[in-house]
Structure 1
């Protein structure tokens, strides 16, 4: 079963923000619905390494208060988000998906995590990855097997396996993965998501690594652009950081007529 449509957990981030703005939904209400989905599906999907619903509820309550005052912290205020475990969050162990090493506990959050929190994102927790992020599947010596929400007998792809399962499974609309050779794009393809490996320097990392990128994993192009606009803000820890850009200008209007459009499909990488 894919994501839960027809309920708050299945809404896009852009839909949630619009609903918060007019008081049709609250961040706490949405978080509790997402938590129900997680409770129902997580034993099978195995998307999380660290799940902190108590911390998420506190963040959702703060967001709810900001929306009531008409003062949201940013464009994703109150929206549930997950972050791949190799993107550091202060005080949260980073295992690299490997059972043979002692997890590292960062004292400061990564640029990605900081930008999300500054913008009011409600972080649910850290999603799993295979050992060292070096497999194109959801198999980890520490975490076990992460499964596809569409069919648990199938793989999620990797290495952003937990992020992919969370996105397709309805654990809220916004998820961040990382990619060197396909770790965002493979789960995106196999799970029917909108994903993107950004250009080098578009999303700051700590420490910078020219072959690796962090990027959005969502269920809509507009959500991908929204999340990218947040996590792409520059950070002095990454000397490759690019100046910010208005990603909203690259999106077509919602009323775009797609009839007559041609789509290119690249089948031979040479």
Structure 2
């Protein structure tokens, strides 16, 4: 892992595969560890340079004030394009998971020359907050359970890992995997202040971002190959969100993972990686 300067900030990255291979850029959701190690390794074996990176205010990337971010969703999209240029691998296959998928959609719309293909995993085509009327919202019973839990002691690594495990169980993800990833995220988080921890562990900084203007209506402008991956059991962004994106991006392929929720489970890594390799 290292950092690369792009768009005037430092972005934490980790690279897998040959530096001269075609680039697949993996936008974190919000940290790079949202992307499984095994998927990155599979892409590298498939002849790609897989580079996963931390969004601002997470991991090794520039952290300022997660409670009052002085940047917008469009700035995060510009970060992705600038990172491609800094890595020298353009145009690149861009992939985003969760909130990183929102970044990826705006990036390919605002910077089409930087990208050759697009993969979106477990995301939606509208900003955080109430969705459009035709899109399913978060499952409210799940959200009530998720946010009824008291916040952990963010200075306690094990308490944070346990908090992530119980959250994963509520969401339908693997609590053992979530516990391990949360501990790794904690190790990479620059400080234990609650705003910094919630930005890294929960992506809460996104609730404070300026995400205007809307981009859903522009999805038909996307002219590169696109893959939309969504878990059938996703209660945070129900599968109808992925189905809508796949309908609205011309000729997009929809891959529904029947046994998945918000994360890419180990059992689906090979299927997702192979679909991405086929895309470009």
Per the normalisation by structure 1, the TM-score is 0.29
Per the normalisation by structure 2, the TM-score is 0.28
| Structure with the larger strand share | 2
| Structure with the larger helix share | 2
